[in-house]
Structure 1
Amino acid sequence: MARPLIAITGPEKGAAGPRALVAGAVRWYGGKPVHIRPSDRSLQHHYDGVVITGGHDVNPALYAAEPEVEPLHDTERDALEMHVIELSLARRLPILGICRGAQLLNVFRGGSLFQELRSRRRRTSNRWTVLPLKRLHVESGSMLARLVGDGTQRINSLHNQAIDRAGEGLRISGRDLDGIVQAIEDPDYGFLLGVQWHPEFLLPMVTHRALFKALVDSARQYADTRRARENGHNT
């Protein structure tokens, strides 16, 4: 049986470590990862799932806001990933957004972002860490709860921006102790999940591996349906 092809987006240069970890998780659960960068012209491949990875801040122009902090944007990557999201949503591909990826999914759906979080934190630290030192409160009945369990989970934190207003059709399924959004999903889509933390750095924990397993499983189902449809057209 052919492995589902999972597109992993990223910048033109850098971020090799996180992307390698994502690719490793995809392989572990039977997927075939392929890396997509702004200079690539291979967007017409029959991807069966997509991971939008973390990185620079999303340009506030994409959600009609003025810059409030020192800009650290990658406009070429913004353009690439907005295009990938558009194509993926049109084909209803399984999508996992990580950190910046979750923010970009939200912006594509018409949502907005907080450009800085320091002034909004009261019970959580601004310290960046790959270790699971922060708490996630998971919304009962959500897809995220089915994957990682209800109640409280441990997560890491490598972000200085976060989701403010949720985009159209998106449900907030997780928050931290300050109420800052940590997860969004679309309950009417299939598999569309955005998480503010970085599960690729927490792969020893089964709850975080579960996100990649669910993505690959959903992509496999998508691929099987696509091949059956193509074979039906060929007979």
Structure 2
Amino acid sequence: MAKPVIAITGPERGAFGPRFLVALALRWYGGKPLQIRPSDKVDVKLFDGVVITGGHDIDPVLYAAKAEVHPKYDPARDELELAVIKKAEAERLPLLGICRGAQLLNVSRGGSLFQQLTEQRRHTSHRWTILPLKTLCLTERGSALKQIFQSDKARINSLHNQAINKLGNNLQIVGHDLDNIIQAVEDPSQDFVLGVQWHPEFLIFLRRQRHLFKAVVEQARARLVKG
């Protein structure tokens, strides 16, 4: 059986826990993880799918906005991951964006972000937690996410202070939380391009969350089989 190589992007240093868990989930379903950092030369021919992981906020200059907050930015990582997203989409590789990865996918399509979510929340907590204490509402019956989760609602975690504002070109909202903050987007014109605002790698003890990584591997394997 074909063993697809799945690129996992991230910062030059650190983020060992999340990247390890993503790799573990991909191996679980027969994928071969390939860790990619900003200093690496990216050859799209070396991998069959992509997971863009979470991390620091995205530099607002990328969506023509002034900085409203002053967190740490990582321009080298922004550059790497934008290039990987564009190359993956050009080759129609399956792509999963996690938290920052979903935001960067949106920005790469001309969208923008809320830089601070405090004013957007009315019904949910501002607390960051890796535990599945928030509610995801799935809104599109025929979406890839709905097919993966097989449910109208799911429990998710929350480790972000930014989120999608203006939607990027050709993206569709497929999930939101109880404050109507966008939690999942996908491109229905692509075989598999999905961005999720939460961190499924911290929830791989839940079958539905593991199946996000299963979907990436299966899509990549199907592409390999087709040749």
TM bin (shorter chain): over 0.9
Give TM-score, length-normalised by structure 1. Answer: 0.94
The residue type equivalent to 1:12 in the other structure is E
TM-superposed CA distance for 1:135, in Å, is 0.4
Structure 1: segments with no counterpart, 5+ residues: 227-235
Matched residues in 2 for 1:152 and 1:2: separation?
A: 33
Query: Aligned residue for 2:70?
Result: 70
Q: What is the aligned-residue identity percentage? A: 60
Of stretches 132-141 and 43-52 in structure 1, the one that deviates more from structure 2 is 43-52
Q: Which residue of 2 aligns with 1:154?
A: 155
Deviations 1:185-225 (A, max 9, x none): 01110100000000000001111011011110000011222
TM-score normalised according to structure 2 size: 0.97
The one-letter amino acid of 1:53's match is: T
User: Which shifted more, 12-21 or 44-53?
Assistant: 44-53
Q: Is the 8 A contact 1:114 1:161 kept in 2?
A: yes
CA RMSD of aligned residues (A): 0.9
Contact in 1 for aligned 2:44/2:87 (Cα 8 Å): no
Alignment match, 2:194: 193
Q: Which amino acid aligns with 2:126?
A: N
- Counterpart Cα distance in 1 of 2:44 and 2:135: 39
Give the whole-Å Cα distance in 1 for the aligned partners of 2:175 and 2:44.
Answer: 33
Q: Is the 8 A contact 1:10 1:37 kept in 2?
A: yes
Structure 2 partner of 1:233: none
Residues 170 and 186 in structure 1, CA contact (< 8 A), matched pair in contact too: yes
Q: Which runs of 5+ in 2 are unaligned?
A: none
Q: Please state whether the residue corresponding to 1:215 is helix, strand or coil.
A: helix
SS at match of 1:184: strand
**Total equivalences in the alignment:** 226
Q: Bigger radius of gyration, 1 or 2?
A: 1
Contact (CA 8 Å) 1:50, 1:93: kept in 2 or not?
A: yes
Partners in 2 of 1:44 and 1:90 — Cα distance?
10
1:162 shift after superposition: 0.1
Q: Which runs of 4+ in 1 moved over 6 A?
A: none
Native 8 Å contact 1:136 1:182 kept in 2: yes
Q: CA contact under 8 A between 1:139 and 1:150: conserved in structure 2?
A: no
| Deviation of 1:41 (Å) | 1.5
Q: Residues 5 and 33 of structure 2 are in contact (CA less than 8 Å); yes or no, is this contact kept in structure 1? A: yes
